[in-house]
């Protein structure tokens, strides 16, 4: 577990100018998830998005799929056996990471290996550990996952500093009911139950407390502090937006932004990317047009990095 005194996620580490345009940030993040060759998600989102935020992005692919699992007939090459030798090699070479961010994993065995990897890289540097428990959406588990897998994910979330489930994943992690219509109390109950799994912060995505509005709500497990961040909701279901959100949060925190600003950046970026995707008339299940919005993401990240910590974020 990341030591709370070393990085206060709420106030952020000082950004001493390392993230100015043209100046290397010197930060390195490791992301562990599958590579789906077509159908934008997981590594094909994380690598460009986090790199755009000025962070060196090391990748550990957990599987090679022809497409993500919402397409019929996808191929799947399991890379579990590579995870330990690849990271042992990095360790021997002396590499270390500021952040370890895990996304879609295919098995309980992969969760165990990711825990070993976290332990392996904890010595030299204490990486910030972000777990996105990717397994479900719209009330249902993705193809290939069952309730036993979800139970193991709940245990695995205990070794994170931050977890970022959507409402469906929060239901599977906590055992609380999945509701399509709810009040704020339901969200606060989910957040408390997620915090009880052990992370320092639980961030719930896709929260909608009013018609026409959506966003994220987070809770700190030590202080009980709640941080909310909303925007206008564009109707429709867009695949890969959870990965987009988690990648922006991971990159922004690694850059040194406090959690509230990281959530603002991610909520605005996902909303703008959905708007552009909808305007282009692309099919929902394929993925979002994030390539078009990366320049705006970089500009907003620079503005948020430059503005004082104390200024109220909109």
Q: How far is the CA of 239 from the CAs of 148, 187, 213, in angstroms?
A: 24, 23, 19
Q: Is 133 in the site for ligand PXL (CB under 6 A)?
A: no
Q: Give the shortest CB-71-to-ligand PXL separation in angstroms.
A: 9
Residues 253-282 that bind ligand PXL (CB under 6 A): none
Helix (H) or strand (E) holding 100: strand 99-102
Q: Is 104 in the site for ligand PXL (CB under 6 A)?
A: yes
User: Residue 146 burial by CB count (10 A; 0-12/13-18/19+): exposed, middle or buried?
Assistant: exposed
Q: Give the shortest CB-132-to-ligand PXL separation in angstroms.
A: 9
Decide whether 74 or 182 has the Cβ nearer to ligand PXL: 74
CA pair distance 75, 88, nearest whole angstrom: 28
The two structure tokens encoding residue 215: 């966003």
Q: Give the shortest CB-242-to-ligand PXL separation in angstroms.
A: 6
Which span (35-43, 161-169, 212-220, 268-276) binds ligand PXL, by CB under 6 A?
35-43
Site string for ligand PXL, 139-158 (x = CB under 6 A): ---x----------------
Q: Give the shortest CB-102-to-ligand PXL separation in angstroms.
A: 12
Quickly list H helices, 80-180: 80-93, 108-120, 147-156, 167-174
Which span (6-14, 166-174, 212-220, 240-248) binds ligand PXL, by CB under 6 A?
240-248
User: Residue 283 burial by CB count (10 A; 0-12/13-18/19+): exposed, middle or buried?
Assistant: exposed
Give the three-state DSSP class for 89. helix
CA pair distance 131, 202, nearest whole angstrom: 10
Q: Is 102 in the site for ligand PXL (CB under 6 A)?
A: no
Enumerate binding residues for ligand PXL (CB under 6 A): 34, 36, 41-42, 65, 68-70, 104, 134, 142, 240, 242-243
């Amino acid at each position: 577990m990341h030591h709370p005194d070393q990085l206060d996620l709420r106030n952020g580490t000082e950004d001493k100018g390392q993230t100015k345009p043209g100046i290397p940030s010197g930060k390195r993040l490791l992301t562990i998830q599958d590579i789906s060759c077509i159908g934008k998600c997981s590594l094909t989102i994380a690598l460009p998005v986090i790199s755009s935020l000025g962070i060196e992005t090391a990748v550990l692919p957990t599987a090679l799929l022809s497409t993500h699992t919402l397409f019929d007939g996808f191929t799947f090459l399991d890379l579990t056996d590579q995870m330990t030798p690849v990271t042992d090699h990095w360790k021997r070479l002396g590499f270390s990471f500021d952040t370890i961010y895990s996304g879609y994993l295919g098995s309980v065995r992969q969760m165990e290996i990711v825990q070993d990897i976290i332990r392996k890289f904890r010595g030299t540097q204490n990486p910030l550990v972000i777990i996105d428990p990717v397994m479900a959406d719209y009330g249902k588990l993705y193809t290939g996952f069952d309730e036993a897998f979800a139970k193991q994910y709940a245990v695995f979330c205990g070794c994170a500093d931050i977890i970022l489930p959507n409402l469906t994943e929060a239901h599977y992690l906590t055992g609380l009911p999945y509701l399509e219509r709810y009040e704020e109390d339901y969200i606060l109950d989910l957040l408390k139950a997620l915090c009880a799994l052990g992370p320092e912060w639980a961030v719930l995505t896709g929260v909608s407390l009013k018609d026409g509005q959506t966003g994220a709500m987070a809770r700190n497990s030590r202080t009980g502090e709640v941080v909310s961040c909303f925007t206008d909701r564009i109707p429709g279901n867009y695949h890969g937006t959870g990965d987009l959100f988690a990648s922006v949060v991971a990159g922004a925190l690694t850059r040194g932004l406090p959690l509230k600003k990281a959530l603002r950046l991610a909520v605005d970026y996902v909303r703008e990317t959905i708007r552009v995707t909808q305007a282009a008339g692309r099919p929902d299940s394929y993925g979002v047009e994030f390539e078009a919005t990366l320049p705006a993401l970089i500009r907003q990240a620079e503005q948020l990095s430059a503005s004082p910590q104390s200024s109220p974020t909109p």
